[in-house]
Amino acid sequence: MMKIRKGDQVIVTTGRDKGRRGTVTRRVDDERIVVEGVNVVKKHVKPNPMKGIAGGVVDKTMPIHQSNVAIFNPKTGKADRVGIKLLSKDEQAARKTRDNGVRVYKSSGEEIKA
């Protein structure tokens, strides 16, 4: 189970964007995620009239390693760690889910809604 998923609010904990907050827009692979407004670089693009690209310098959001971010807890207003609470068979049946666990905030134990 992935602890950080698409759509989660996260805070960057290390690197040049430390302290920035953003939404996870996509997962690149098992380790890297793209966060909106974080790790933005200048990319020089050649013009391509066949695709309608004008060319020039473009801002591009690059992936960041998931170990460099922490999930944002709206109750405390701070970064928090993610834990996984295992569900019993009855709870799984009530939720109609195949997952055997849910994500929770480590500090409070509340379930993460996403």
In DSSP notation, 60-112 reads EEPPEEGGGEEEEETTTTEEE-EEEEEPPHHHHHHHT-S-SEEEEETTT-PBP
Please write the tens of the pLDDT for every residue from 27-40: 999 999 999 999 99
Considering the chain, what percentage of its residues have pLDDT values greater than 70? 95
Structural tokens at position 67? 């170990």
Number of other CB atoms surrounding residue 89 within 10 Å:
8
| Model pLDDT, residue 98 | 66
Q: Which range (6-15, 62-71, 92-101) has the least confidence?
A: 92-101
Domain range 9-80, its CATH number among 3.30.300.30, 2.70.98.10, 2.30.30.30, 1.10.3720.10: 2.30.30.30
Q: Say if residues 35 and 22 touch (Cβ distance below 8 Å).
A: yes
| Model pLDDT, residue 85 | 87
pTM equals 0.81
For residues 18 and 100, the model is more confident at 18
Q: Where are the domains of the chain?
A: 9-80
